[in-house]
Amino acid sequence: MTDTSDDEPHTAERGNGARDDAETADDDGLSVGTATAASGESADGWLHVTDLPTGDGERLPVTVANGAADGPTLWVTGGVHGDEATGVAVAQDVAGRVRDRVADLAGAVVVVPVVSPAGLRRNERTTYYGDQDPNRYFPDTERDDQRPPETQERIDTTLYEVFADSADLLLDCHTAQVGSVPFVIRDRVLYGDVRDEAAAESLADDLQRIVDSVGLPTLTEYPAAEYLGQSLQRSTAGAATNTAGVPAVTLELGGHSVVEPDARAAGVAGVFGVAAEFGLVEAVPDDLPDPGATVPDAPVSFPVRRFVGPRAETAGLARHVVQPGEPVEDGDTVAEVVDPHGTVLETVESDHDGYVIGHSEGLAVYEGEAVASMAVRDDGDLVVPRDAE
């Protein structure tokens, strides 16, 4: 995949790199798995990703909408974590809308609403393929690891190879913690062996265009060392951006486990905002709300990044003092820890200026556990060397 330019995303050369049951594109149409759509048409199908011991196969649902006019290819994925319901609903809604409006598309939209069927079946973040997080096993070409790939990594690699060949943009739909406010995550762009600093800057420019057009509060990912330490360069958006060179962001659409209507509406509007910015559609459909009408704006004006914390130093029961979406300053109390009789054992204070994104799940809290996730002030660079301290 070539790197994007400042002005327009890379447009995949349709007809190159066909791969068995993966992605093919030629004059007869665009195919992902069994979904093949001629120009001006749409199709639903399945992408086979692994065989199962029961004799059948694991497959991902796919919708391909192939516009009549030329343009970029936008991928929309959801459900890489099986309990993140609103992300699945947003991807499904986008698929339904592009099916109905395929003749108006300039380019193509590929939607995979359930990336982790094994997580969906158990309503959990992880899969039963070794209880692994499926959003940490996408390829990283600069990673030195001689361990043979197991099932989840093979599944992720199969999906990666398809979107790395065909995508010009990718939006990965998720949800976050209990009570979370919706937001969009922008990865830091790494440079090193895969790309030089100039190419990374160009890629970061496209990421900025994406987050601006989504219309949700923006958080930058963790600092580079922590980002790599958590293998986030191997997430869907991280691998798309930092390995394939496909500008990609993560939409965090409220809390997990149930579909939240306001976050769902904001997510669909955000996807079409990106589609309009990059020329796939002329404008966001009139019946979709401005994301700002259903999702609160960021309560701070300075740049922010993701942060897990603050953390309790005393075991007990958590009582949250600050609600998601509310600002805090360094030294403000975010939560209290009480004993079983209700006596306050500790006040948990923020070490940062920023605001609360969501609460950690559960009543019980142990020593060293985070009580919340926050957006905290970020003075770091958006483009960084891969080996940054």
Convert the pLDDT of each residue in 248-275 to its tens digit.
999 999 999 999 999 999 999 999 999 9
Specify whether the backbone of 14 is left (phi greater than 0), alpha (psi in -120 to 50) or beta: beta
Task: Break the chain into its structural domains and give their ranges.
Answer: 23-294, 304-377
How many whole angstroms separate alpha carbon 374 and alpha carbon 304?
9
* Cβ proximity of 66 and 166 under 8 Å: no
Q: List the single range of 13-27, 232-246, 265-279 with lowest mean pLDDT.
A: 13-27
Is CATH 3.90.1150.10 the right assignment for the domain spanning 304-377? Answer: no
In the structure, what pLDDT confidence band is assigned to residue 8 with cuts at 50, 70 and 90? Answer: very low
Read off the pLDDT of residues 182-206 as tens digits, 9 standing for 90 and up: 999 999 999 998 899 999 999 999 9
* pLDDT, mean of residues 75-100: 97
pLDDT single digits (tens) 63-74: 999 999 999 999
Residue type at 21 in one-letter notation: D
SS3 sequence, the chain?
Answer: CCCCCCCCCCCCCCCCCCCCCCEEEECCEEEECCEEECCCEEEEEEEEEEECCCCCEEEEEEEEEECCEEEEEEEEEECCCCCCHHHHHHHHHHHHHHHHCHHHCEEEEEEECCCCHHHHHHCCCCCCCCCCCHHHCCCCCCCCCCCCCCHHHHHHHHHHHHHHHHCCEEEEEEEECECCCCEEEECCEEECCCCCHHHHHHHHHHHHHHHHHHCCCEEECCCHHHHHHCCHHHCHHHHHHHHHCCCEEEEEEEECCCCCHHHHHHHHHHHHHHHHHCCCCCCCCCCCCCHHHHCCCCCCCCCEEEEECCECCCCEEEEECCCCCCEECCCCEEEEEECCCCCEEEEEECCCCEEEEEECCCCEECCCCECEEEEEECCCCCEEECCCC
- pLDDT tens, 291-327? 778 898 999 999 999 999 999 999 999 999 999 999 9
Quick check: do 23-294 and 304-377 share a fold?
A: no
**Residue 336 confidence class, pLDDT cut points 50, 70, 90:** very high
- CATH of region 23-294, choose from 3.40.50.300, 3.40.630.10, 3.30.160.20, 3.40.50.2300: 3.40.630.10
pLDDT over 50 at 19, yes or no: no
What residues have CB less than 8 Å from 276, skipping those under 6 apart? 213, 282, 283, 284
Record the pTM: 0.92
Kindly report the average pLDDT of the chain as a whole number.
Answer: 91
pLDDT at 388: 67
> Which one, of 231, 255, 358, lies nearest residue 307 by Cα?
358
Q: Per-residue pLDDT tens for 126-180? A: 999 988 899 999 999 887 777 889 999 999 999 999 999 999 999 999 999 989 9
Dump pLDDT digits (tens) for 344-384. 999 999 999 999 999 999 999 999 999 999 999 999 999 99
Q: Would you give the end-to-end CA distance of the chain in angstroms?
A: 28
Q: How far apart are CA 253 and CA 66, in angstroms?
A: 27
Amino acid at 193: D
pLDDT of residue 141: 83
Confidence of residue 28 (pLDDT cuts 50, 70, 90): low
Residue 75 predicted with pLDDT over 50: yes
242 vs 203: CA distance, rounded Å: 9
Q: For residues 161 and 231, give the distance between their C-alpha atoms in angstroms, rounded to a whole number.
A: 19
